[in-house]
Amino acid sequence: MQAILTIVSHLTFIALAFWAISALHIERLMSVYPRQARVVIVMLSVAIGYGCSSFFLDFINNVRNLGYLL
């Protein structure tokens, strides 16, 4: 169950980051290199989405572990 939650979380946050970064229209700034601009958008989406997802999953794990503290 944990593995499914991790995969879904990563993919969801990567898709959300891609959607948000696409709204910035980076490809307009790099109009000379449109293919490279798309690669930059995808790479940034993966990096930001993975980071946010990892934070979210760690936060949930830490909240679960608070029960052991008490």
* Best CA proximity match to 49, nearest among 20, 14, 15, 21: 14
Q: Which residues contact 9 (CB under 8 A, 6 or more apart)?
A: 53, 56, 57
- Return the structure tokens found at 65: 């572990």
CB 51 within 8 A of CB 12: no
In this prediction the pTM is 0.85
Over residues 28-68, the pLDDT tens digits come to 888 888 888 899 999 999 999 999 999 999 999 999 999 88
What DSSP state is assigned to residue 33? Answer: -
Tens digit of each residue's pLDDT (9 = 90 or more) over 12-35: 999 999 999 999 988 888 888 888
Sort 53 into a burial class: Cβ within 10 Å, 0-12 / 13-18 / 19+.
buried
